[in-house]
Amino acid sequence: MISFLQGIIADKALNMLTLENNGIGFEICVSKFCLDRIGEIGAKATVYTYMYVREDEISLYGFYDKFEKEVFSKLLLVNGVGPKMAINILSGVSAEDLSFAIATQNISVLKNIKGVGVKLRERIMLELKEKMDALSHLASVSLTEMEANDSEAYTATLNVLMDWGVPRVHAQDVLNKVFESTDDMESLLAKAFRELGK
């Protein structure tokens, strides 16, 4: 399994990136957000990858960071979502915004993504919510309760980030950078996802 590739960006096209490494050009399917963030042609880049293998196809899917790869992997757990659909979804909404939407059960963020109908939107929200017990619990917690205790908001947000694959030390660094005493869980989570997306 190829975990990541490092090389020079040789070409960029719609949802496609070519990375040159030791004279070999790897064609990698990526999201719009990855393509926008990764750099320009000629720049050095690291792309985290997922290899999809079938009898008639071997494809590489790439991600800007480990967090985007983790969200992609979770999307593949949803019935009816394959790699191409997962990349399509992550091109319509960033990994950070999608994570926040699932945590808060905001289905409207998926409304304008081509190929994602009502039933699939509902399935994504339902199946990921069920598979992520901590997210399900935190999404149902009253925000007024969170506001009453700053440390509870911090701890709850830290648990959400770790459930989505962010290492504890990294999650703590992000929260320490953006945390304010007036934050509730929802606002702190939104700020953390924005910081992770930089």
Q: Give mean pLDDT, residues 84-98.
A: 91
Q: Of 37, 63, 89, which residue constitutes the final position of a domain? A: 63
Percent over 90 (pLDDT), the chain:
41
| Judgement on whether residues 141 and 191 belong to the same structural domain of the protein | yes
Q: What pTM does this model have?
A: 0.70
Greater confidence (130 vs 145) lies with 130
154 confidence band (pLDDT: 50, 70, 90): confident
Residues 112 and 153 in one domain: no
Looking up residue 12, the CATH number of its domain turns out to be: 2.40.50.140
Residues 126 and 146 in one domain: no
The SS3 of residue 20 is strand
Q: At 31, give phi and psi (nearest 5°).
A: -80, 165
Question: Do 58 and 72 belong to one domain?
Answer: no
The tally of domains found in the chain comes to: 3
- The pLDDT of residue 144 is 37
pLDDT value for 145: 40
pLDDT of residue 198: 57
pLDDT in tens, 99-141: 888 877 889 989 889 889 999 999 999 888 766 544 434 434 4
The residue with tokens 């999404």 is 139
Helices (H), the chain: 32-37, 66-75, 83-92, 95-104, 118-131, 133-140, 143-147, 150-163, 168-178, 185-196
Check which CATH number belongs to the domain holding 124 and give it.
1.10.150.20
198 to each of 19, 33, 34, 195, how far by Cα in Å?
21, 11, 11, 5
Pick the last residue of a domain from 118, 134, 150: 134
Higher pLDDT, 84 or 150: 84
Q: Does residue 34 sit in the same domain as residue 71?
A: no
Mind listing the pLDDT tens digit for each residue in 36-48? 989 999 999 999 9
Same domain, 26 and 44: yes
Whether 110 and 147 share a structural domain? no
120 and 155 fall within a common domain: no
31 and 42 part of one domain: yes
The residue segments making up the domain with residue 88 are: 66-134
Is there a contact between 70 and 77 (Cβ–Cβ < 8 Å)? no
Residue 133's pLDDT is 46
